[in-house]
Chain A
Amino acid sequence: MSRKAEVENSSDALKKARRALAILEEQAAGFGKLHIPANLQIELEEKRREVAELEAQGPEFSTNNDNINTDLHTNSSQQKGTTQINVVITGDGNVIGDRSTSQVTKIPAPPSSEPQNQDREAPAWFGNIGLSKNPFEHLTAEEDGDDLLRYRIQPQALRPLERQIRGDETISRWIVFGDEGFGKTALRMRIAQSHYPLKTQDKVLCIVYDAEALNNVLAYANHSLETLKPTHYVDVAYELVRDVLEDAKAFKKSPASDVSARQALNTITQAVLHQGFRYLLCLVDQVDAVEIVEIETHPEKILLFLKPLMRLDQLALSGLAFRYFLPSDLAPLMYAQQKTLHLGRYQIFPLEWTEEDLERLITQRLSTFSKSILNPYTSLGQLCEPGANFDAPIDQALVRLAEGSPRAVVWLANRLIQVHCQAENPPRFIQPATWQQVKVDWRRYGRDQLFGSPAQSEGFGLAGDRIYFQGKEVVLSEKYDALLQCLIRSGDKVCTKEELIQAGWPGERPEGVTEAALAEAVRRMKVELKRMGYDSGWVKTVRGRGYRLQKPQEHSKG
């Protein structure tokens, strides 16, 4: 079937589904909202879902909304690989980092979906339901600013360690790894806020190498990694400390050319101690926002950028401590060079969120912005139409969509409220159709904004638990799907036989599955991939160790 015929068929299906939905809605209207028979309600829900899914399938199928087409056009051009996006700037000027690309492109916010009249209507709605404002309007820690501590929560796993990472007792070294939007900057801000100069009574002086400071470091090195030296970090440290220390006279910079970076940093540290501080705490965050080649395809450049600082850090100067908040993508690379980087000297914490953590995030934000102190909202479910058969308790459904990302939870909850407030007179309760719309929006562009599109990856990629190859979903039988997911998760590292056996035979003892069985399963997986038209040469055997994914040409060249 030609592409045109396919589009026409799908468009017909959408039209038919919409017509059927209109008829059902008319029937339902005859009963009044409270007395719709259960069977009609069921049919209505199913039809709404069908329409939503058809609308989500592609731009061409959606015929009644020019704005949606515009938005989808943006996505499809990304899928064709014509646009690479590093930072997404939404229509309202918010900047969202995207993990996967290098250029900066302005993507217009989807005009049809953005609540143009939110400012006018929303305050009334919030007031009516008892919220002081939209608890999810800020997507990033920077937007939250000082307010963050009013509703910030942390993953439960972090609780026993937060004090140590904050550096209250010891000046040990820490690296916190986390994906984009997982709370690295929030944690960094929290730590900064608990020390001088933000907390004036404290005796630890805290400076932050954030995106701006790190770009200054690079500027000192003439924007070249090749000329970057530890002294460039020291120069910026000098500026940062000078900006916050009250007695700047006591603090004189030694000309960098005259002394080593170690000596210069020691001078700064001693000056800080001389001012009565217990130590100087340096927080390093937003390395992926440094203006060098982007991290997804060249994480080693980030590492090259960091190495001079880590070398300085390891000189064990007394009165100096470092905390790094680094993208998870760097972890495999750093572990591969752990001896060179002396990773053994660092305490390492991976920032991960459980579903319970994310549910607590929703509860805390709603609770903080509830007007009733005694009876705060604790769940989005309390804002939704009662008994309207959302497809699951909404908080859980939302958290599952978010794939462990707190930023995604905030995005989805904010979108839910925004879409609801778009209505002329927003009803008191959020309707199931609104949630359907949010899910469509998430699939259409939200997920890509936050996580980057699997369409943009060159080879196999994962979106949640779905496998994609160059933007096209790959559907394999269960075992092979598990094996391929395991390989994808290993990135360019070797996926060991043990890891694959655990993934492919989850209920069985590893020793119960022979290597021959694994090899046969991998062979069959490759056959299945080939049958579906994919190049099975991507799956490479690493003799004696396991398997890994590698681009076939590189493989053959190698």
Chain B
Amino acid sequence: MNRSNERCVTNHSGVWTELIALCLDMLRTLPEHPEIRLLNFWTYRGGGKTTFLHHLKAALTVPEVALVGLWDAAVSEVQQVIQEILCAVEMSSHTKKVVLLDNLDNWLRAGDGESFFEFERQLVLPLLERRDVLLITTAQIPVHQWREYDVRIHQENHLIRALNKAEVTHLTETWALDANWLFEQSLGYLQILCWLQQEPHLSEEALAQRIADYFLSAFSPMVRELAAVAALLPSFDVAVLRDVLPAEEQETPEGLYAVYIDRIRELIAAGLVAWDMRMGAYHFPNATLRRLLARSFQICHRENFTRVHERAMLYYQAEARRPGYLHYTLVSALYHMASFQSAQADGDVGGSCKRWVQDHISLWAGADWPAVLQAWQSGAGDKTVNEELQALLGVEVVDEITQMLTAAQQGMEVTQ
């Protein structure tokens, strides 16, 4: 986010309250019982890293706490930052000290990442040993690369989420723009809010194009294409990508997989995509960003949008024939079915999804029903998928499907 955008959203309280409360809680434990002394808040670009730090600064009004300073790894040399922070911490006589550092991952991205490890050895370790300092950083990725055990056990990563409706309303109350409209357009993502504040008459198409450009501009065209398509899938692996995004021919399947994986790894390094160990698949850890990209794709590539959902639907419906795997596939199968039919304006979306479940439920004997229900009710661990399903199918149909799955589970228990 550029500096002018930063100004338009700072100096407001009442946002990210739980994250700020977390920092204050950690501060309270200093210096006697400091379990966590390094907090990294992460989000993709435009997600509010710098803004968050400014809000945090404003909230740090506790008397015994000294805000030692705010540094930015994107514009400073590591050695300079280390010296300045060590010096400033030494000078402070407060019993509790807070050091803020923006864009920590910049040092990881530079060369072989040695700057990052210098920072760890020469600054983070000594600060942790002091026990009176809370180091708060931001980054585009969750930072797990710490080499020192003492650092690893005293650090945590937290996502800077998109703002909710109440926060958007609060933040934009002086903007003379309809907060509901702002929330619908931005889904609470900070960068979009800033654009809309500056250009409230931005057309839907222009906004969609700008979203794709801004968030994906750092990648090569191939990677960019993969990211745009993958954003339509709540969770994905290379096998489904092969169906929805045919790549150039490779001599071997392995070669083809490797092509996809190399591209995905670029997205992981940027913080856009992560591996979900629980689902055994990739996903966008920032669900709001995924929805923004998906919407952008829908507007800019309407036909392709329908085609991708259709292919994904066929893939997951075929996968859902395997009862033992149903808890990994059901949500995606229904999500893509509903998205496809909705894109085609295909009459009763909810009704046909419900019928599909009805038609198949007798074939799913042996499914892990508690896991299936849990996946269905949690949107396979992504509550925004749940929200989307409710919007696509209607709350009643969602409830009816839940009842069908519950009845299947109960049937299983009786049989046992």
Contacts and interface: CB of A to CB of B under 8 A. Distances in A.
A32 B256 CA distance: 13
A145 B59 CA distance: 45
Interface stretch (A243-251, A327-335, A342-350, A378-386): A378-386
Q: Which of A153, A159, A386, A396 has the most CB of B within 10 A?
A: A386
A154 interface: yes
A422 B278 CA distance: 28
B278 A162 contact: no
A478 interface: yes
Contacts of A387: 237-240, 242
B254 A429 contact: yes
Interface string A419-431: 0000000011100
B112 interface: yes
A32 B277 contact: no
A428 B254 contact: yes
Contact of A373 (B112, B148, B265, B321): B112
Interface residues of B, number: 47
A478 B275 contact: no
Given A363-B277, A367-B145, A387-B242, A34 B253 contact: yes
Interface in A185-211: 190
A153, A373, A395 interface centre (most CB from chain B within 10 Å): A373
B363 interface: no
B82 to A, nearest CB: 19
B266 to A, nearest CB: 8
B324 A391 contact: yes
Interface string B74-106: 000000000000000000000000000000010
A374 B280 contact: no
23 contacts: A34-B242, A38-B319, A42-B322, A153-B153, A160-B35, A162-B153, A359-B277, A367-B145, A373-B112, A373-B113, A378-B274, A381-B275, A386-B238, A386-B239, A387-B240, A389-B325, A390-B280, A391-B324, A393-B278, A394-B280, A427-B254, A428-B257, A478-B416
Interface string A339-380: 000000000000000000001000110011000111110110
Contacts of B256: 34
Contact of A190 (B109, B149, B268, B319): B149
B258 interface: yes
B144 interface: yes
A154 B280 contact: no
Interface in B133-187: 141, 144-145, 147-149, 152-153
A513 interface: no
Given A42-B322, A153-B152, A374-B109, A381 B277 contact: yes
Nearest to B114: A373
B269 A393 contact: no
Contacts of B280: 381, 390, 392-396
A386 B144 contact: no
A34 B259 CA distance: 14
B278 A396 contact: yes
A376 B145 contact: yes
Contacts of B109: 374
A373 B145 CA distance: 7
Interface string A382-425: 10011111111111100000000000000000000000000000
Nearest to B141: A374
A159 B153 contact: yes
Nearest to B35: A160
Given A38-B321, A374-B141, 14 more contacts: A34-B242, A38-B319, A152-B149, A159-B35, A372-B265, A375-B266, A375-B269, A376-B145, A379-B277, A381-B275, A381-B277, A387-B239, A396-B277, A396-B280
B36 to A, nearest CB: 9
Nearest to A150: B147
A33 interface: yes
A396 to B, nearest CB: 7
A149 interface: yes
Contacts of A34: 242, 253, 256
Contacts of B26: none
Contacts of B105: 374
Interface in B23-74: 33, 35
A507 B380 CA distance: 26
Interface in B305-358: 318-319, 321-322, 324-325, 328
Nearest to A42: B322
Interface in A203-239: none
B261 interface: yes
Contacts of B147: 150, 368
Nearest to A130: B265
Contacts of B33: 160
B319 A154 contact: no
Interface string A147-161: 001101110000110
Interface of B: 33, 35, 105, 108-109, 112-113, 116, 141, 144-145, 147-149, 152-153, 237-240, 242, 253-254, 256-258, 260-261, 265-266, 268-269, 274-275, 277-281, 318-319, 321-322, 324-325, 328, 416
A238 B328 CA distance: 60
Contacts of B260: 386
B108 A373 contact: yes
Nearest to B113: A373
A154 to B, nearest CB: 7
Contact of B144 (A38, A363, A395): A363
A37 to B, nearest CB: 9
Contacts of A363: 144, 277
Contacts of A388: 239
Nearest to A149: B149
Contacts of A374: 105, 108-109, 113, 141, 269
Contacts of B108: 373-374
Nearest to A386: B238
Nearest to A194: B150
B106 to A, nearest CB: 11
Contacts of A429: 254, 257
Given A162-B153, A393-B279, A396-B278, A42 B321 contact: yes
Contact of B237 (A32, A153, A372, A386): A386
A387 B268 CA distance: 19
Contacts of A149: 148-149
Given A373-B145, A386-B239, A393-B280, A33 B113 contact: no
A359 B257 CA distance: 25
The list of the 9 closest CB pairs from A to B, nearest first, reads A387-B239, A393-B280, A386-B238, A375-B269, A373-B113, A33-B253, A38-B318, A149-B149, A374-B269
Interface string A32-45: 11100011001000
Contacts of B268: 375
A238 to B, nearest CB: 32
Nearest to B154: A159
A195 B2 CA distance: 48
A131 B244 CA distance: 30
A243 B281 CA distance: 53
B35 A379 contact: no
Nearest to B254: A428
A162 B280 CA distance: 32
Interface in A103-152: 149-150, 152
Nearest to A362: B277
Contact of B265 (A39, A162, A375, A379): A375
A207 to B, nearest CB: 22
A38 B116 CA distance: 47
A372 B261 CA distance: 14
A149 B146 CA distance: 11
Contacts of A153: 152-153
Given A38-B319, A367-B144, A372-B269, A379 B275 contact: yes
Contact of A393 (B265, B277, B319, B416): B277
